[in-house]
Structure 1
Amino acid sequence: MNIKKTVKIIGGVFIFLTLPTFLLYCFIYFKYDSPVPEGIEGPKADALATKMLEELNYKAYDSTHYIEWSFKSRHHYQWDKKDNKCTVYWKNLKVNLDFEHPENNKAYMHNFKLIDQEKADAIAQATKYFNNDSFWLVAPYKVFDPGTERRLVNLENGDTGLLVTYTSGGTTPGDSYLWQFDANGKPTSFKMWTSILPIQGLEASWTDWKETETKAQLPTFHKLLILGIDIKNLKTK
């Protein structure tokens, strides 16, 4: 087989494998990509955020000291909310995070303690996982976190949405989320404008709620386009 024919075959395979993905990306981009909507800050925005917290029984969540869950069956968490610590498991790694005293962080592989750069890398990865995965679990309860801005947004269907922007904290400060609600003020979805997503304005569901052992309401599933985000093994104390 000559080189020219080989190049044609490789090129054909490459196009066959990548063209459908590229076309799908273009379709999604032109259908969903949108700028962050404008909104109005003030007491009315804060009141809508407060109504959401009341509908979700924020007091029960606030008094919950411990949450355990699995994110997409890949990352597993034992979060001590009271002492602000979390143990993170994935693959053959275990990391003990102490958010108030990071000098106490520890990392293990196959139960052997990691040191130096391997330890630092594992801790950084665990922190990144926690920031992302816990947000999919407790995002509604973070609307009054330090550094947040809340704005009322008029939606196309005539309803009112709540735009929350995180100006600091987490792994990707500057992200914005537009919450939408049912008639009682309970979240049903949010749209996202984040630095890690190539398409801005994508919508994810917040409809599969579970009342946990402490009466705190937490989600068990999110739908994002055709993707599903499972939250399993949910326990609270």
Structure 2
Amino acid sequence: MKNLLFITSLVVVLSSCSKGSSSGEAADSVAVESEFIEYSNPPAEGFNQEDSDLLATLLADKTMQAMGGREAWDNTRYLKWNFFGRRSHTWDKWTGNVRIEVPDKDLTILMNIKSKEGKAMRAGLEVKDSLDHYLQRGYEMWVNDAYWLVMPFKLKDSGVTLKYLREDTTQTGSSADVVSLSFEDVGVTPQNVYEVWIDTDSKLVTQWAYYPDSSTLEPRFITPWVDYKKYGDILLSGNRGKNQLSDIEVLDEVPEGTFEEFQLN
């Protein structure tokens, strides 16, 4: 396998250099290390580097590059999308502010997903007594819905462990490398496990499988990640097979008051 050979050659070359290599070997080391510089993608604080596989980590870096690159992701500020027709999000990635609108509940939540502070409006009235409940629910909706949109950018997030599993094909027959994501002390359901298919050629995520926990033998679901389009400077996919993430936008600015005031009809 090409990637495995790359990793093996990296270990051999760096080992040779550490023992006193010739100038030719040193040049080879620089050439190999340059690929890591090209795919520079520092892990978030708390990423489980020690227990993650080197190959799985390299694949995560290549996926980040294929999606537009770390710099483009860091420079992306506002994202908007609709989650399966159920609710819409406007997210300020830099500050953590989010606006969640749930039409069938006549509910709007304005909150910061870092501090978990905010306010809610339901049926035209600002929520007071049960505000904590709605803010927690808003946080849970954002965690779930954002992961369905931007998971490929979060492969090296805090609390994540990456393991290389196998070479495989997707349900449509495309070749891919499969890595697993497990979590510790993060998110709403840290016991969940995902398997992610990373396309052999494009390095884009093309499929994922969800397991409620590590003891589950069969996935709860498998869905595609297809139909990537460029939004701003990054790629995003909204096609999850039977379900669709729609109205996807990457914005440089949002209307004044998006996160501060309720827009009453």
Shorter-chain TM band: 0.7 to 0.9
Instruction: Work out the percentage of aligned pairs sharing the same amino acid.
Output: 20
Q: Deviations over 1:136-155 (max 9, x none)?
A: 00011111111000111114
TM-score by length of 2: 0.66
For residue 56 of structure 2, the aligned residue among 29, 45, 58 is 45
Kindly report the root-mean-square deviation, in angstroms, between the aligned alpha carbons of the 2 structures.
2.0
Q: Which runs of 5+ in 2 are unaligned?
A: 1-50, 170-174, 252-265
Quote the offset at 1:121 in angstroms: 2.1
For residue 180 of structure 1, the aligned residue among 197, 210, 222 is 197
4+ aligned runs moved over 6 Å, structure 1: none
Q: CA–CA distance in 1 between the matches of 2:66 and 2:77?
A: 20
Letter in 2 for 1:47: L
What does 1:10-25 align with in structure 2 at a 5 Å threshold? none
Is contact 1:167–1:175 with CA below 8 Å preserved after alignment?
Answer: no
| Structure 2 residue matching 1:116: 3-state secondary structure | coil
Q: Which runs of 5+ in 1 are unaligned?
A: 1-39
For residue 100 of structure 1, the aligned residue among 101, 114, 139 is 114
Q: Does 1:109 align with 2:128?
A: no
Quote the offset at 1:162 in angstroms: 1.2
| Structure 1 residue matching 2:249: 3-state secondary structure | strand
Is contact 2:113–2:139 with CA below 8 Å preserved after alignment?
Answer: no
Cα distance 1:53–1:112, how it changes in 2: closer, same or farther (>3 A)?
Answer: same
Is contact 2:78–2:250 with CA below 8 Å preserved after alignment?
Answer: yes
For residue 57 of structure 1, the aligned residue among 36, 55, 68 is 68
Letter in 2 for 1:79: W
Partner of 1:124 in structure 2? Answer: 136
For residue 167 of structure 1, the aligned residue among 167, 184, 188 is 184
Number of aligned pairs? Answer: 189
Letter in 1 for 2:67: L
Q: Deviations over 1:84-113 (max 9, x none)?
A: 1101010311111112333x3101113321
Structure showing greater relative contact order (alpha-carbon pairs closer than 8 Å, 6 or more residues apart)? 1
Letter in 2 for 1:101: S
